[in-house]
Structure 1
Amino acid sequence: MTRTIVILGAGIGGFPVAHYLVRHTASKSSDVRVVLVSPTDEFYWVFAIPRAVIPGQMSSDDVSFSIPDSFAQYPASKFELVLGKADRLLPELNTVVVALNDGSKRNIEYHSIIVATGADDKHKLPWKNLGTSEETRDALDQLRMSIGDAQTIVVAGAGPTGVEFVGELGSEYSKHGTKKVILVSSDKLPLDSSVLDSVRYAAKSQLEKLNVKIIANTKVTATTGTGMDQVLELTAADGKKQSLRADLLIPAHGLTYNTGFMPAEMLDKDGRVKQEKTLQALGYKNVFAMGDAGNIQDPLAFFANGHVWHLGRNFERYMETGSMPEHKINGKTLLGLTLGRDHGTGQFGNWKIWGTLIWYLKGRHMGLDRSAPYMEGTGNADGKWN
């Protein structure tokens, strides 16, 4: 009887772990195969999106890669791509109901299942995949067009995405005085308090050199008007309000976790899968979660990469014995941020990383120079597999 490993989601966690399990687990057992369920047929290079949305910098083809082409190297007996998304998980039946892209539904029975469905941007902006490849590409085109037309651009949210994005806007526009770029931050400095102050001040300083205006300790609390004529209500931490006119408001905060298909008792209050340290779902030995979908670590790409390695290296043992070791959680902060096309900053543990190193490793190509192992199925952002 075939033992099927189902992987839900083909993002930066699900995509490489599917490759790993086909190559290193299914290939060694005659009765094991992998089924990858994804609403999109393209792997989306999220690391580059803050630059890819700037008109003229990157095309949608530069950040979108064919999933069928990547997995064509494997026989049908070992791998299947199912275009659709999970509609309902029935763990007591070891079955997931998939809503296929053609409008029909399919029940897939599994031996084990990995939930790698990630999260969507709450505002339906293309910081993450938005469903099908067509939907994501359309959103990229629309955002590029809006940016091109606007003269005053306000970015709400000073987390990693917001900081990298305004850096790109600054490099392209405000540095040269062609557009006004404003970052609204809810804290006194960009990034959150878990990041070293020296890194946060470096980000602030570099953005200001790009003529990005930073409005600190403030949130966008209301908007009036539409299109290129909006008035934003800004509320400071002390309660004072002010109005700001903008051609374009772009939120860079807020996630909605893609776990609504799971039984409510398996989720925490934020909608993330409750997990053991083994990455297994609490109370379910054959249900795993990784990346943003699981609650064992913060929703950061760095942690998802670690989950890929843990599951990949240990799944063969799990399939043979039913035992999965605990994931060794690295509590050190690792952050690498581009600040425009020529600068960067970052952190490893309690050390601030030299900005030129971030530019060299990430800023020149936004990681696209390291995309080949993903597509070949031989590695992920942390390196090649053995």
Structure 2
Amino acid sequence: MAEQRNIVILGASSAGLQSSHYILKYILPALKAKNDAKYHVYNIAPSAHFYFKIASPRVAASTTRMAAEDIVFDLHENFKQYSSDDFTFIEASATGLDTSARTISYRSHKGSEDERLPYHALIVATGSRTIHQAFSSSSVIQDTLDSITSTNEKIQSAKSIIIVGGGPTAVEFAGEVGEHRNGKPGWLSKPERKVNITLITADKQLLPSLSPATAKKAEQKLKAVHVDVLYNSRVTNTSTAKEGHTVVTLGNGENLETDFYVPAYGVEPNSSWLPNELLDGKAKLITNKETSRVDTAGPRVYALGDITSYSRNNVWDILAAFPALVVNIQRDLLSYDALQPDAKPKGKDRIIQLDALVNMVVPIGKSDGVGEIKGWNFPSFLVSVLKGRDFLVNMSAKPMASGVKTKEVKWTAEESAI
């Protein structure tokens, strides 16, 4: 009887989805042609739905601006193109990793006990989660949908809103809320202020990864929809006041009271299930920044996306690392020798080429925004064309969910020398 070799991908957001589709389309057929074992691909994720969090700032502001169903994709539907002989999707959360036994532990939301699955190769793509749940999905999708509904309702009724954060999510969300509640500015007119919106950042500028000039433009565009920006101010505490209001305490001791408070800063890696010795000081999985391998976890273990120690928590890093991941895992698997299971694969590794410059496109409302690509200023009309109209739903989210545009990464002669 042929040996069973499982290829397991943990996570079904951007990194996990792309990895799963690629392996099923290009790597699995090559392994089956080798005919040395029985291979099966598993994807394990907490939800059977892919939530396109890039577009979450618009949906969280109001589903009249973009419907929630436009950015939620049924994974069963998008994976049904693959044979059950080749692929299994498991709706469950990872609960442990045993690198010695080479097993993954997981638990479904309907179960009370962990189950285990042995792996021959493992890709960890469990990503990260946001403080405010409307901006990401790390559990069953209903939790995120409920947060979207609650956020929409509070934004619609609030007379004052405080948003905390200075990164792209905070700026995009503030712009969406400002345009939704206060109106869209015209060529020669400014909308009437209907609600007080304050964006608080601990930094001296918005979008600190970008140039001060671009940050200043972002502030000006936010002011056009009546969003006030408060700099160099760190929130140290929040508490509930009368009538459900929130009191926000700043580092200087000042208290601000608001109808609705939204934390839109930072992410936390989904790594609590991983052994501590595999994590760095930021609770991220220690990953080789050149090969995408998790060297300390043993052979044929990889990571991609926000969970990795080299990630700057953006989609550009996933795109940059993806070719190296799939080339290296394909060569590792094809060159595997059962008589020498820990032998280093032949051939040359594909090396990750991360862009030293931060690429960022930040819509501020549907037809305005700022950005920088490879250090060059990105004009506002191009921000609107590229991302502002639908937050990349048609260009990126739908193809990513279905894998329809997943293209094969070609090997070089040195890389394919197995």
TM-score (norm: length of structure 2): 0.86
Counterpart of 1:49 in structure 2 is: 56
Separation (CA, whole Å) in 2 of partners of 1:229 and 1:286 = 51
For the 8 Å contact 2:10–2:126, the answer to whether it is kept is yes
Separation (CA, whole Å) in 2 of partners of 1:126 and 1:253 = 13
Counterpart of 1:34 in structure 2 is: 41
For the 8 Å contact 2:57–2:169, the answer to whether it is kept is yes
Shift of residue 124, structure 1, vs aligned partner:
4.3
Give a deviation string over 1:68-122, Cα, whole Å, max 9, x none.
000000001111101101101001111001112221422111111011001111x
Separation (CA, whole Å) in 2 of partners of 1:202 and 1:167 = 13
Q: How has the CA–CA distance of structure 1 residues 124 and 211 changed in structure 2, closer, same or farther, with 3 Å as cutoff?
A: closer
* SS at structure 2 position matched to 1:61: helix
Separation (CA, whole Å) in 1 of partners of 2:284 and 2:81 = 33
Q: How has the CA–CA distance of structure 1 residues 116 and 258 changed in structure 2, closer, same or farther, with 3 Å as cutoff?
A: same
Identity %: 25
* SS at structure 1 position matched to 2:254: strand
Counterpart of 1:184 in structure 2 is: 200
For the 8 Å contact 2:205–2:216, the answer to whether it is kept is yes
Structure 1 residue 307 corresponds to structure 2 residue 311: no
Counterpart of 1:220 in structure 2 is: 235
Shift of residue 62, structure 1, vs aligned partner:
1.2
* SS at structure 2 position matched to 1:35: strand
1:150-229 equivalences in 2 (<5 Å): 150-175=158-183, 176-192=192-208, 194-226=209-241, 228-229=244-245
Once the two structures are overlaid, the 10-residue window that deviates more, 112-121 or 167-176, is 167-176
More strand by share: 1
Counterpart of 2:119 in structure 1 is: 110
Whichever residue aligns with residue 69 of structure 1, its letter is E
Whichever residue aligns with residue 265 of structure 2, its letter is H
Shift of residue 214, structure 1, vs aligned partner:
0.7
Structure 1 residue 3 corresponds to structure 2 residue 5: yes
For the 8 Å contact 2:321–2:354, the answer to whether it is kept is no
Give a deviation string over 1:213-240, Cα, whole Å, max 9, x none.
11111122223324642222223xxxx4
Runs of 4+ that moved beyond 6 A: none
Counterpart of 1:356 in structure 2 is: 381
Give a deviation string over 1:178-231, Cα, whole Å, max 9, x none.
221110011222111x31112111111111111111111112222332464222
Shift of residue 60, structure 1, vs aligned partner:
2.0
Counterpart of 1:25 in structure 2 is: 27
Shift of residue 25, structure 1, vs aligned partner:
0.7
Structure 1 residue 319 corresponds to structure 2 residue 363: no
Give a deviation string over 1:141-176, Cα, whole Å, max 9, x none.
121122222110100111111001001011111344
Q: How has the CA–CA distance of structure 1 residues 225 and 296 changed in structure 2, closer, same or farther, with 3 Å as cutoff?
A: closer
Q: How has the CA–CA distance of structure 1 residues 288 and 158 changed in structure 2, closer, same or farther, with 3 Å as cutoff?
A: same
Shift of residue 7, structure 1, vs aligned partner:
0.5
Counterpart of 2:98 in structure 1 is: 90
Structure 1 residue 288 corresponds to structure 2 residue 314: no
Once the two structures are overlaid, the 10-residue window that deviates more, 5-14 or 171-180, is 171-180
Whichever residue aligns with residue 107 of structure 1, its letter is R
Aligned-residue Cα RMSD (Å) equals 1.7
* SS at structure 2 position matched to 1:92: coil
For the 8 Å contact 1:46–1:128, the answer to whether it is kept is yes
Give a deviation string over 1:234-283, Cα, whole Å, max 9, x none.
23xxxx43222200110011322111111111110111011112111132
Q: How has the CA–CA distance of structure 1 residues 222 and 292 changed in structure 2, closer, same or farther, with 3 Å as cutoff?
A: same
Give a deviation string over 1:327-377, Cα, whole Å, max 9, x none.
222222110100111101111222111121111010001111213321321
Structure 1 residue 257 corresponds to structure 2 residue 283: no
For the 8 Å contact 1:6–1:37, the answer to whether it is kept is yes
Whichever residue aligns with residue 312 of structure 2, its letter is D
Separation (CA, whole Å) in 2 of partners of 1:348 and 1:146 = 35
Counterpart of 1:334 in structure 2 is: 359
Once the two structures are overlaid, the 10-residue window that deviates more, 169-178 or 153-162, is 169-178
Structure 1 residue 267 corresponds to structure 2 residue 279: yes
Q: How has the CA–CA distance of structure 1 residues 10 and 333 changed in structure 2, closer, same or farther, with 3 Å as cutoff?
A: same
Separation (CA, whole Å) in 2 of partners of 1:362 and 1:53 = 16
Separation (CA, whole Å) in 2 of partners of 1:61 and 1:67 = 13
For the 8 Å contact 1:94–1:110, the answer to whether it is kept is yes
Once the two structures are overlaid, the 10-residue window that deviates more, 341-350 or 221-230, is 221-230
Separation (CA, whole Å) in 2 of partners of 1:275 and 1:223 = 36
* SS at structure 2 position matched to 1:191: coil
Whichever residue aligns with residue 159 of structure 1, its letter is G
Whichever residue aligns with residue 9 of structure 2, its letter is I
Counterpart of 2:247 in structure 1 is: 231
Separation (CA, whole Å) in 2 of partners of 1:250 and 1:124 = 7
Give the number of aligned pairs.
377
Once the two structures are overlaid, the 10-residue window that deviates more, 169-178 or 138-147, is 169-178
For the 8 Å contact 1:281–1:289, the answer to whether it is kept is yes
For the 8 Å contact 1:198–1:352, the answer to whether it is kept is no
Separation (CA, whole Å) in 1 of partners of 2:41 and 2:356 = 31
Separation (CA, whole Å) in 1 of partners of 2:240 and 2:132 = 19
Once the two structures are overlaid, the 10-residue window that deviates more, 38-47 or 276-285, is 276-285
Whichever residue aligns with residue 120 of structure 2, its letter is H
